[in-house]
Chain A
């Protein structure tokens, strides 16, 4: 994996290109981008056949180890890696530790390893098992083992330990990688920890940057998905900025946080390049549809970004968004439905539709930056969101 900056903003954000992104080295990706969120290696609720019908699906599928690690022996015997095993042959596979949509079960990590969680319960990974699993999965990118079980409440001592552990794991993995023919083409993603401690964040970033990693995943601000807006903590933006300043420019920075388009814009401005698409999934789980117009100027009337299932008809008679009953009359609002081929699919509709909206947003985000219209896009979304 190689990363180059195409265009940089004064705030730290940048348009970039990830070249030689895959193991075979032949894929180029544009950032900012999101990965395809999966559960058990599949887009939640979506048959591969249906996923193919969603436009702008990302080239990289993020697959968390929790639900998959247990099956590494089957995948090893299969012999062609996790991507092909999960019928995602045409995607790059990015193995992450945890399901980005869920909260972490906390207190299970120690110096010997970290716990990941599947339906079958806890799987304790030490670096030996971790590497065995990765060798079976043959990912294009893989997140190094990390102790991200920290948040704002954690004290200095805990954060120090989390940074130390994560660096120790990384060193062991780097050493083991030297003996692994199978993983020689895979890109190792180093993990930055340190909670809300600037000192620990800087230490984690600087130390990780010294190791042979191809990209950085920043985590440990919350214990998995907390459902809280990280930007509501007044120190978050500063700490993130300080952290990113310690990272080299020529490697991509990733966050797996569940973020709305507006939050993505904020994080992008600070210098994050690669995002998760867990957000549209978590919305759909709550029966919410992502409805916005990302074009500039918006070609449709202002609408809230998210439409809930309570009293759907009171504000606008043309919108029926009670997704609990699985009816969503996209055909009554063609402006929102542009290009959305999944608007009538009922049970799976929210997933397919929300995914499509989110992927479409990244397309427009990149376009807006290229055309120096990021402020306009942000304002347009804020207006549609009713924040003004």
Chain B
């Protein structure tokens, strides 16, 4: 019962199975450099590489897609070198995705936004750089990622009123400029971004506009910025309700296990987040029951691996007790825990993919939540969100 998606783009999606209860689906996304099973989590590598990991390690984890940042790459090494070296720089990675506008929020004090584009001051050398939609696409064309992102006008999720409306409409205008500037549509798939903050009406308008354009997939942006979870999931659901079924939906900046499971149920296919790699740098390992803060004395004499069921090289090699000594002192710990955390995320996504194929996804969700919250102290928002797609926790 496979449903074939668009064939006019560098990306095509085949839906392998749909959950008969929720909106979850299992697909395979074909990209120029990789076949990616979805739902998929994409680790973030700020300057084109995952902090603490080397390409071989990514390959062994069967990580086929990761995300890099146009903003950072645009500065260093800069477009000239990228032009020369091109995708070779990232040849170790099976696929690669790129975003443009988000750094505007994280580096907002450095940025000034006009209709023309975003003026940044480089945190590296203080020089000014105007990132226009055209420039963003030009850089992303030279990087050569399989999926590239439109430049969007991102506002913080707490912003509402005229500025939010302005940002949403500007995002659509910038999308048209991006589509026009895109030189390599056969090699790279351009994703527009649904904006509109926490305003259901704006988000609906935005989604309606985007689906008029001929694109290969859609991103849902402007969320996961610290807003109330009750609002977050509703905005996700509004977006997935409107976006066409046959194209991938990429929910930007989401990576906590609970959020991933809920949003897969709501119909999202792709996710990225710095969380698993960032938390590793603080000595935190992800497990099915939550997190282990390896810096804690609790682990000083715990000679088990992080997760005895995990097949990653970290769990095959190191004990919690040794990682406890390392996490408190040495940078090697970051690398070692990162390997496990990425393995954990990828395994979580694989399990969801499998359970959807077997049409056992609701059962997976129930077990997942029960393992994480054995006392059943489920977060309310998650209970509500899952109930909205007919999944009821045990």
Contact = CB atoms under 8 A, between A and B. Distances in A.
B329 interface: yes
B339 interface: yes
A68 B321 CA distance: 12
A322 interface: yes
Contact of A41 (B55, B313, B322): B322
Interface in B246-297: none
B329 A39 contact: yes
A1 B84 CA distance: 54
B122 interface: no
Contact of B339 (A47, A71, A324): A47
B107 interface: no
A42 interface: yes
A86 B329 contact: no
Given A40-B326, A345-B55, A47 B336 contact: yes
A48 B335 CA distance: 10
Contacts of A78: 301, 303, 319, 321
A87 B325 CA distance: 12
Of A42, A44, A70, the most chain B CB neighbours within 10 A belong to A42
A77 B313 CA distance: 24
Given A327-B89, A344-B55, A74 B326 contact: no
B57 A87 contact: no
Given A47-B313, A47-B314, A344-B92, A85 B329 contact: no
B167 to A, nearest CB: 31
Contacts of A2: none
Interface residues on A, range: 35 or more
A332 B104 CA distance: 34
Contacts of B48: 327, 346
Contacts of B301: 73-74, 77-78
B73 to A, nearest CB: 9
Interface centre among A49, A77, A118, A348 (most CB of B within 10 A): A49
B332 interface: yes
Contacts of A74: 300-301, 321, 324-325
Interface in B291-344: 300-301, 303, 313-314, 317-319, 321-322, 324-326, 328-336, 339
A155 to B, nearest CB: 35
Interface in B42-60: 47-49, 51-57
B47 A119 contact: no
Contacts of B317: 47-49, 87
B387 interface: no
Contacts of A46: 332, 335
Interface in A298-342: 320, 322, 324-327, 329, 331, 342
Nearest to A325: B76
Contacts of B339: 47, 49
Contact of B47 (A41, A50, A73, A326): A326
Given A48-B318, A78-B321, A347-B49, A329 B326 contact: no
A47 B335 contact: yes
Residue of B54, B57, B81, B339 with highest tally of chain A CB at under 10 A: B54
B313 A85 contact: no
Interface string A45-66: 1111110010000000000000
Contacts of A115: none
A53 B56 CA distance: 10
Contacts of B91: 344
A324 B77 CA distance: 10
A46 B55 CA distance: 13
A62 to B, nearest CB: 14
A120 interface: yes
Contacts of B160: none
Contact of A67 (B53, B318, B330, B335): B330
B51 to A, nearest CB: 6
A85 B76 CA distance: 40
B2 interface: no
9 contacts: A39-B330, A42-B336, A47-B335, A67-B329, A78-B321, A331-B88, A344-B92, A345-B54, A346-B49
Given A74-B324, A120-B328, 9 more contacts: A39-B329, A40-B332, A41-B326, A42-B330, A45-B52, A71-B300, A77-B301, A320-B77, A329-B89
Q: Which 10 A-B pairs have the closest CB atoms?
A: A345-B54, A40-B330, A346-B49, A42-B332, A49-B313, A325-B76, A119-B329, A71-B325, A67-B329, A39-B330
Interface of A: 39-50, 53, 67-68, 70-71, 73-74, 77-78, 85-87, 118-120, 320, 322, 324-327, 329, 331, 342, 344-349, 352
